[in-house]
Amino acid sequence: MAVQQRRGSKHRKAKRRTHYKLTKPAIVKCPNCGEYKLSHKVCPSCGQYNGRQVLEVGE
Task: Enter the pTM of the model.
Answer: 0.60
Q: pLDDT of 1-59, one tens digit each?
A: 789 899 999 999 999 999 889 999 999 999 999 999 999 999 999 999 999 999 998 76
Residue 58 pLDDT = 78
pLDDT at 1: 78
Q: CA 38 from chain center: how many Å?
A: 8
Query: Quick one: pLDDT at residue 31?
Result: 93
Burial group, residue 45, by CB count within 10 angstroms (0-12, 13-18, 19+): middle
Separation between Cα atoms, residue 32 and residue 34, nearest integer Å: 6
Q: What is the pLDDT of residue 57?
A: 84
